[in-house]
Amino acid sequence: MGANTETGWRQEVREIERRRALRAEMGGPDGVERQRRRGKLTVRERIAALADAGSFREFMSLTGEATYDGPELKAFTPRGVVEGTASLDGRKVILSGGDFTVRGGSATSGSGGLGSELASNERARQWQLPYVRLLDAAGGSVRGFEEIGRTYLPDGNGWAQIDVDLLSKVPVVSALLGSVAGLPAINACLAHFNVMVKDVSQLFPGGPPVVKAALGYDIAKEDLGGPHIHTRVSGCVDNLADSEAQAFEQIRQFLSYLPSSVHELAPRGTTDDPPERRDESLLSIIPRDRRQIYKTRTLIDAVFDQGSFFEIAPRYGRSRVTGLARLNGFPVAVMANDPRFHGGSTDVAGGSKVMRLMQLCDTFHLPLVSLADEPGFMVGLESEKQGIERAGAQLVAAVCQSRMPWITMVVGRLFGVAGQCHHRPSGMFRRYAWPSASWGSMPIAGGTAAAYRSEIAAAEDPEAKRQEIEARLNAVASPFRTAEATGQDIIDPRDTRSVLCEFAEDAQRVLRTQLGEPPIPYRP
């Protein structure tokens, strides 16, 4: 830097700007060009695309590895992450973006030490701000062993403990914007919502070279951990975006339904959709012939604020639909059965989606709306192999331990223990039914053959006997008979929106008593 002959601190200020300029070069022209060839934005372009214009305030902006010739700075390599505060649609968050141009965003680049400033996740925890990860990082690198002159015992839970605790304090979102491996792959799932990008993102603990060394076969990155694996089969990633810009829009949408921390209520949005709107299509949306199906999302659009439904994990566990929406501006969570897949039966994947949604409600004080058309837990050999009974027990436990205000609208079937999981015996719970509803321990059509097996087998005409028994049972299956005995409210389907809007507003006074951390910590 040389001798300072100027008055004041102008030269030092110029040095700050010089170092920030070097930081802005990221991994240098070659690293940036490789990033572009892969069809990816740089980390700084990503932050500019996600954040409100001019709102990003970087911290640790001078951190990196420098080389000197005496007092003069000769070269500077920034650390492989860019972090700071920013506003998303006017609400402040903390951003952490992996910089793949710097050694693949390796966790060993630019590591801190004694006297280091607070990490970004700790700032989010202390400042009670949402935390957004833009992941494009390879995790640890063996190159780091040579640089530090030794190996080390894996003890990263000193940092991971903060990430786990964050889940019960503030909204956490992870965007997968490249190949995400090692610890960043776990951070991708230590979130309330995550999204990956078509043709750009992959997720795995170890990539193709590690697979080759461990298992002896070659596999492409996309085949190993692409979206077709993680948004459809594993369920490790919620949503798929067609572009990075679409992924950023999904992040903004998701966060718009949530408070900044568990100590606040979710913000109410504006709407010009009147609560008393009555959609005539609801009178006929459920077919009388239950062998026919209907479109669940059409039903959702008919009762929630128009255009407000944000679906979560649409490609996984497809017999259940989960997401966020608004009722007269109030944010709510939504779950529904989709008869187009397994007849709407809850399988292991669908149940896991529902449990995560319930946790989200209890953590961030959202009312839950269930549009129930539940034929029961998924049966069959494959369901048994996946452990449907344990999954069912976990869902029962999650329901009974939940506390958010909850309303169930029984629009169709409600059978067995899976049907039981649309009901809670405690707290603010309401249940209504449509005249199209039917319920019981199991469907009459399937249960007759089991319950009356000997009587049917002994009949001269077994098929005629089965039909006769089913006719007798159907005669007592009217929902109005249940209402006579139990007080169950049955409503005109066209009144559904007004009932739900009233519930969402009533729920606010209960939610205010539940502010703070959830009694049961959030589990990813």
Query: Could you tell me if 198 and 67 lie in one domain?
Result: yes
Binned at pLDDT 50, 70 and 90, residue 128 comes out as very high
* Predicted confidence (pLDDT) per residue in 406-430, tens digit: 999 999 999 999 999 999 999 999 9
Taking residues 139-144, what's their average pLDDT?
65
Q: Whose CA is closest to 249, among 398, 89, 104? A: 89
Binned at pLDDT 50, 70 and 90, residue 300 comes out as very high
**249 in a domain, yes or no?**
yes
Query: Could you tell me if 302 and 179 lie in one domain?
Result: no
Binned at pLDDT 50, 70 and 90, residue 61 comes out as confident
Whether residue 163 has pLDDT greater than 80: yes
Q: What CATH code is carried by the domain that includes residue 397?
A: 3.90.226.10
Query: Could you tell me if 115 and 251 lie in one domain?
Result: yes
* Predicted confidence (pLDDT) per residue in 347-362, tens digit: 999 999 999 999 999 9
With a pLDDT cut of 90, the percent of the chain lying above it is 72
> Encoding tokens for residue 111?
């590591």
What Å distances lie between residue 57 and 60, 96, 151, CA to CA? 10, 12, 35
| Contacts for 162 with CB less than 8 Å, ≥ 6 apart | 119, 121, 122, 125
**Lowest mean pLDDT, pick from 208-222, 437-451, 486-500:** 437-451
Query: Could you tell me if 179 and 318 lie in one domain?
Result: no
Whether residue 102 has pLDDT greater than 80: yes
For the chain, helix (H) and strand (E) counts, in that order, are 21, 19
Q: Residue 110 has what pLDDT? A: 47
**169 in a domain, yes or no?**
yes
- ∠ CA 232-213-386, nearest 5°, is 30
Query: Could you tell me if 94 and 34 lie in one domain?
Result: yes
Range of the domain at 500: 280-434+491-512
Binned at pLDDT 50, 70 and 90, residue 104 comes out as low
Query: Could you tell me if 22 and 144 lie in one domain?
Result: yes
Amino acid at 204: F
Binned at pLDDT 50, 70 and 90, residue 456 comes out as confident
Q: Residue 291 has what pLDDT? A: 84
User: Alpha helix (H) ranges present in 309-442?
Assistant: 348-364, 381-385, 388-401, 416-420
**454 in a domain, yes or no?**
no
Q: Residue 444 has what pLDDT? A: 62
Q: Whose CA is closest to 304, among 323, 283, 286? A: 323
| Contacts for 198 with CB less than 8 Å, ≥ 6 apart | 227, 240, 241, 242, 243
**Lowest mean pLDDT, pick from 117-131, 149-163, 256-270, 320-334:** 149-163
Query: Could you tell me if 309 and 194 lie in one domain?
Result: no
Residue 75 burial by CB count (10 A; 0-12/13-18/19+): exposed, middle or buried? exposed
Dist CA 462 CA 452 (whole Å): 11
Binned at pLDDT 50, 70 and 90, residue 459 comes out as confident
Dist CA 94 CA 123 (whole Å): 8
Query: Could you tell me if 61 and 191 lie in one domain?
Result: yes
Query: Could you tell me if 246 and 295 lie in one domain?
Result: no
Tally of structural domains, the chain = 2
- pTM, 2 dp: 0.91
**144 in a domain, yes or no?**
yes
Whether residue 448 has pLDDT greater than 70: no
Return the H-helix or E-strand segment holding 188. Answer: helix 183-189
**268 in a domain, yes or no?**
no
Query: Could you tell me if 49 and 146 lie in one domain?
Result: yes
**444 in a domain, yes or no?**
no
Question: What SS3 state is found at 365?
Answer: coil
Whether residue 91 has pLDDT greater than 90: yes
**447 in a domain, yes or no?**
no
**405 in a domain, yes or no?**
yes
Binned at pLDDT 50, 70 and 90, residue 322 comes out as very high
Query: Could you tell me if 295 and 242 lie in one domain?
Result: no
Dist CA 272 CA 307 (whole Å): 11
Binned at pLDDT 50, 70 and 90, residue 113 comes out as low
Q: Residue 457 has what pLDDT? A: 82
Taking residues 90-113, what's their average pLDDT?
76
| β-strand partners of 240 | 196
Binned at pLDDT 50, 70 and 90, residue 446 comes out as low
Mean pLDDT, the chain, whole residue set = 91
Query: Could you tell me if 324 and 182 lie in one domain?
Result: no
